[in-house]
Amino acid sequence: MVSIFAGMAGRFGVNEKEAERFFKFAVVGVIGFIVDFGIFNLSLRPFELLLDNGTGLHDFIVGLGLNDEQTISLARTFASTLSFIAAIISNFMWNRYWTYPDSRSRSVRRQLAQFTVVSVAGIIIRVPIITYTHTPFTNMVANFAALEPYSVRIGDNLALVLAVIVVMFWNFFVNRYWTYNDVE
């Protein structure tokens, strides 16, 4: 499949090796997406329960000055952060050993550090997107009667989709030209 994609790209004047890397990066992205969404959805409810009204953590956070709605919305932030970290680890391993196996002039530690810097910048981009688009997406979905009971969860996932798309482009270009710039 990879060679077919690379060969077709070569017919359009694209460097076949770069086309192969892009295809592999996209496959790694899909794996990371599955890790990200899976852990996000598995951890969202436990974080909601930890931050629910009446829990010690809820009372502590409210004591810091956040209101009930802001406190429960932290569940999204916590779940998204956890899922993002898991996806970073998965993506780094797959990219290091499958997408860029010829990238060996740098140590694993150095590339992991660079990959992490890019990813932390990505999470700085991602968290506000999720935080500020959740409510509009939830309200949009709530307009459909059949989906209204699920509007909060669908809104969470739509916000995550938007964030993943934006951060994917950031990660691809910065990692290709900084983290893995030692390949031809």
> Given pLDDT bands bounded at 50, 70 and 90, which one contains residue 25?
confident
Alpha helical stretches, state H, the chain: 2-11, 16-50, 56-63, 68-94, 108-142, 151-174
The answer, yes or no, to whether residue 3 has pLDDT greater than 80, is no
Reported pTM: 0.73
> Given pLDDT bands bounded at 50, 70 and 90, which one contains residue 46?
very high
Residue corresponding to tokens 């030209």? 177
CA 114-125-33 angle, 5° bins: 75
In order, the DSSP letters of 114-136 are: HHHHHHHHHHHHHHHHHHHHHHH
Whether residue 120 contacts residue 110, with contact meaning beta carbons closer than 8 Å, is answered with no
The answer, yes or no, to whether residue 26 has pLDDT greater than 80, is yes
Q: What is the pLDDT of residue 6?
A: 62
Q: Rounded distance, CA 41 to CA 169, Å?
A: 23
Encode pLDDT of 94-133 as tens digits: 999 999 888 877 888 999 899 989 988 988 998 899 999 9
Of residues 14 and 142, the one with the higher pLDDT is 142
